[in-house]
Amino acid sequence: MADSPAHSSDAILSAARASLNDQRAGGRRMATGKPIGQRSAALRRSSQKRKAVALGLSVVVAIMLVNLVIGLLSGLLHLLGWLASGAGVALLLAVIWMLLRDRAVTVPSLENLRASPPRQLVGQTQLWLEAQRSALPAPALDLVGQIGGQLDGLALQLDRVDENAPAVGQVRQLVGQHLPDLVKAYTDIPPALRGAEHAGASPDQQLTQGLARLSGELDSVTRQLAEGKLDNLAIQSRFIDYKYGDTPEG
Amino acid sequence: MATTLEAPAITLTAPDPVPVVAPAQAAGLVPLATEQRSKLDEKVDSFIADLIAQDTNSPEFGKRVDQLTSMGRKEIAAAAGMSNRFLDRPMRAMDKDQGVGANLIELRRTVETLDPARAGKLSPGKKLLGLIPFGNTMQKYFDGYVSAQGHIKAILDKLASGKDELLMDNAAIDVERTKLWEAMGNLEQMIHISKKLDAGIEEKAGDLDSSDPAKAKALRESALFYTRQRTQDLLTQMAVTVQGYLALDLVKKNNVELVKGVDRASTTTVAALRTAVTVAQAMTNQRLVLQQITALNETTANIIDSTSTLLKEQTGQIHQQAAASTIPVETLQRAFQNIYDTMDTIDTFKIKALDSMKQTVNTLSAEVEKSKGYIARAQGQSSAQVAHDGPSLLSLEG
């Protein structure tokens, strides 16, 4: 009787409520469409810009070609030629729009992700995570959003830190390896089995727990990277105390 | 009368080297508050109760034991990072080739060229036939001051900025020590936990000996074994950290002494130059104008607040003596002797301080090396399980 609808009504109801809330908030399309961080957003923007420039150039070339052909013709054909070129331009614009809308940026593969230099790693990981979102359960999605924000903070720190600092190696491992490995291990599981209990917890739970841990670790790494700056201010104020304050020197 | 010019003797004491801190002595150096203690005890009690409740063959029991093996991972790693940093700290002030040390040597060299003892017998000269000045060695001697003043000012300026560097160094040490103190407090808490666990598990195993000998054995062989190992790791790290903490204090004390030395060297130099100005006036009736030095008088007095009163008093005495004394050159020589005394004191101090420092760095390097083995083990164990165990009962942030 365990499978009877009456027995699992609570679960069904709560799932329905969650689904309703989700849809009200814009649904999965909305949640998974937005970039999770500024770095990935910037990567998307720059990639769109590059594509737009390339397409724009090809449009100009196409128009010039059309005009060249038209220039060779004359008389009545002239007017017809202009109409044809107008139609051609409209068609090209439609193609551009289609191309820009979808897959504006290439999502890195795991291998490329790991090979990217520390400063670009964060943006790449954000892009990769965004691409995985459609496969992740709802609570993990929230965490991925949170991690996206944390990665932005981390990227700001990384920009100002020496690439050989010990913490940078830690970031590499965390952002380039442990985080994607965890998500990949989850997405490798057939969807039907992701809710079933295995080794003490369901894959859904394990993923969520793992992501929460990693989120905590990201926090502490970011703090570690900022420590030099925090120390610096403390040292300066202590020095000023020594030099101009009432405390005896040294 | 002339003896009143003597400045109070300066003593610079080199601190003793930091002794080796044995792991067994390391615990208890940072006091824990009573409420902290009872909170930790509660944690330990609930952990032990939870551990005993598990079947020793179940994965849950294994999970609890895993928590024991990685107990204090973060605390150890944090403290280890800081102790290593001490070894990177250059002994800036002690360095012979640059900084304060080099500037002091240069100052001494320049001052020696002005030493009246080297100038031979100074005489104001005579006037040949009552008209042509002749044999005025005094005049020549004091001319040396005019040409040397720029150089001396530059050295004294460098010394002043060197002093700032030393103060900055000490500020950095202060911050580092505050952080080390926190790290030691955390280690102390973990040591308290692990010792308490040791006693608690031992006791429970004793209770179970008759009723459930198999469980008692499992407790001793896994939980108790790892707890003891972890206690050792924590104590080793604590010993190294305490030693680093004490060593930083040594560097700071050295710097304080050196700052005193630099202050005194600057003061005595300026005093000697002032004396020269007065003596020149008294003996040759020439007005020795040392513009750069006059400017320096003001700045030096401002920089060295602690010694500026001394400088003022001395100047008053110099004026009196130079005017009253029958042998003003002797006054000048005494002023130079003051500079030499100061520099000799600094030199002896530096030799002793360097020795203490070397010993301290050696012992600390050896201890850090020893503790690295433990840390590697601790990190190897914990990296395997970072992702999957829940918030540990034994972590401090709970």
Tens digits of per-residue pLDDT, B251-295?
888 888 888 888 888 888 888 887 787 777 776 666 666 666 665
Angle at B234 between CA B73 and CA B69, to 5 degrees: 50
Q: Do B390 and A217 touch (CB under 8 A)?
A: no
Type of residue numbered A132: Q
> How many CB atoms are located within 10 Å of the residue B300 CB?
24
What pLDDT was estimated at residue B98? 64
Decide which of A97 and B375 is more confident: A97
What Å distances lie between residue B378 and A113, A229, B44, B73, B75, CA to CA? 29, 29, 21, 7, 11
Q: What is the model's pLDDT at position B126? A: 59
Mean pLDDT computed over every residue of chain B: 77
- On the question of pLDDT at B376 being above 70, the answer is no
Confidence bin at A71 (pLDDT 50/70/90) = confident
Nearest neighbour of A250 by CB, restricted to B172, B179, B252? B252
pLDDT digit string (tens) for B165-188? 888 888 988 988 898 899 999 999
Structure confidence at residue A227 (pLDDT) = 81
Asked if B103 and B160 count as a contact pair (C-beta separation under 8 A), the reply is: no
Mean pLDDT over the full length of chain A: 80
Token pair 């593969």 is at which residue? A109
Q: Average pLDDT of A217-245?
A: 87
* Chain B residues within 8 A of A231 when measuring between CB atoms: 172, 175, 179
Of B231, B239, B254, B233, nearest to B364 by C-alpha is B239
User: Are B387 and A236 a contacting pair at CB < 8 A?
Assistant: no
Gap from A199 CA to chain B (nearest CA, Å): 10
Q: State the virtual CA torsion across B383, B385, B388, B390 in degrees, nearest 10.
A: -100
Asked whether the beta carbons of B75 and B188 are under 8 A apart, the reply is no
- Using a CB-CB cut-off of 8 Å, the residues of chain A touching B174 are 235, 238
Label residue A37 by pLDDT band (50, 70, 90).
confident
Instruction: Give the residue on A whose Cα is nearest the Cα of B250.
Output: A250
- DSSP letter, residue A161: S
Interface subset of B 82-141, CB within 8 angstroms of A: none
Whether the complex's predicted ipTM is more than 0.90 is answered with no
Helix, coil or strand: residue B57: coil
Least CA distance to B384: which residue of chain A?
A178
B98-113 CB burial, b ≥16 within 10 A, e <16: ebbbebbebbbeebee
SS3 state of residue A201:
strand
Contact B136, B124 (CB under 8 A): yes
Q: Measured between alpha carbons, how far is A11 from B264 in angstroms, rounded to an integer?
A: 82
The answer for residues whose C-beta is within 8 angstroms of residue A39's C-beta and 6 or more apart is A122, A123, A126, A151, A152, A155
Please indicate whether, in this complex, the C-beta atoms of A235 and B168 are within 8 angstroms of each other.
Answer: yes
Tens digit of pLDDT for each residue in B81-128? 776 666 665 455 455 556 788 888 888 888 888 888 777 666 655 555
Q: How many helices (H) and strands (E) are present in chain B, helices listed first?
A: 11, 2
Residue A5 above 60 pLDDT? no
Q: Locate the chain A residue with the closest alpha carbon to B260.
A: A249
DSSP string, B115-150: -TTTS-S----EEETTTEEE--HHHHHHHHHHHHHH
Q: Are the C-beta atoms of B349 and B14 separated by less than 8 Å?
A: yes
Task: Please check the confidence at residue B319 and state whether its pLDDT lies above 70.
Answer: no
**Torsion over CA: B1, B7, B8, B10 (sign):** negative
Amino acid at A119: R
pLDDT tens readout for residues B328-363: 677 788 888 888 888 888 888 888 888 888 888 788
A106 close to A131: Cβ distance less than 8 angstroms: no
CA–CA dist B171, B27 (Å, integer): 27
Torsion of CA B173, B177, B178, B182, to 10 degrees: 150
A36 to chain B, closest Cα gap in Å: 22
Confidence of residue B43 (pLDDT cuts 50, 70, 90): very high
So what's the pLDDT on residue A102?
Answer: 56
**Where would I find the H helices in B98-224?**
99-114, 137-211, 213-218
Of B28-32, B41-45, B113-117, B328-332, where does the model show the most confidence? Answer: B41-45
Cβ-count burial of B228 within 10 angstroms (0-12 exposed, 13-18 middle, 19+ buried)?
Answer: middle
User: At B36, which amino acid appears?
Assistant: Q
A81 touches A138 (CB < 8 A) = no
Q: Do B387 and A241 touch (CB under 8 A)?
A: no
Q: Do A182 and B387 touch (CB under 8 A)?
A: yes
* pTM (2 d.p.): 0.68
Question: Which H or E run contains A17?
Answer: helix A9-24
d(C-alpha A236, C-alpha A225), whole Å: 19
- The burial class, CB within 10 Å (0-12 / 13-18 / 19+), for B231 is buried
Give pLDDT, residue B216. Answer: 92
Select the more confidently predicted residue: B130 or A190. Answer: A190
Radius of gyration of chain A (CA): 27
Beta-carbon count within 10 A of B358 CB: 13
Taking any CB pair shorter than 8 Å as contact, residues of chain A touching chain B are 166, 178, 182, 200, 206, 209-210, 213-214, 217, 231, 234-236, 238-239, 241-243, 249-250
Question: Which residues, in sequence order, are bridge partners of residue B132?
Answer: B128
- Which of A167, A91, A123, A154 is CA-nearest to residue B78? A167
Give the pair of three-digit tokens for residue B6: 């003597």
Beta bridge partners of A30: none
Most confident range, picked from A13-17, A215-219, B1-5, B18-22: A215-219
Q: Tokens for B221? A: 């062989």
- State how far the Cα of B16 lies from the Cα of B363, in Å rounded to an integer: 13
Note the pLDDT of residue A118.
78
Residue-wise pLDDT tens digits, B189-224: 999 999 999 999 999 999 999 999 999 999 999 999
Query: Count of residues for chain B?
Result: 398
CB contact under 8 A, B167 and A243: yes
- Whether the pLDDT of residue B389 is over 50: the answer is no
Distance CA A38, CA A122 (A): 10
